[in-house]
């Protein structure tokens, strides 16, 4: 579960990780000083759509991975093998 804080109202909500990619504009990860920024390497701060785009751009076959954690695992595994790029 991730917690998000609305930047305008300060309302904090708990969100299932499979749905946290829906919290984009106007929200930040709860407890962070500023809105979540995307890191250079794919991680949990990335949205599912961003992870899929990264995989496509780097010709990484996601197979049947559809959940954020599974996609991150596939990307991480491909970056440790020479076949990744």
**Residues 21-58, buried b or exposed e (16+ Cβ, 10 A)?**
bebeeebbbeeeeeebeeeeebeeebbbeebbebbeee
Is the entire prediction scored with pTM above 0.75? no
Q: What is the pLDDT of residues 23-73, one digit of tens each?
A: 667 787 787 765 545 567 888 888 998 899 889 988 999 999 999 999 999
Inform me whether the pLDDT recorded for 5 exceeds 80: yes
Domain boundaries of the chain, sorted by first residue? 1-36, 38-85
| pLDDT score, position 64 | 95
């Amino acid at each position: 579960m991730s917690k998000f804080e609305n930047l305008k109202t300060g309302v904090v909500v708990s969100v299932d990780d499979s749905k946290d990619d829906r919290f984009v504009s106007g929200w930040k990860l709860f407890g962070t000083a500023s809105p979540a920024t995307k890191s250079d390497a794919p991680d949990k701060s990335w949205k599912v759509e961003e992870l899929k785009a990264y995989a496509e751009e780097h010709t990484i076959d996601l197979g049947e991975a559809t959940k954020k954690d599974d996609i991150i695992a596939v990307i991480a595994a491909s970056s440790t093998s020479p076949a990744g790029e």
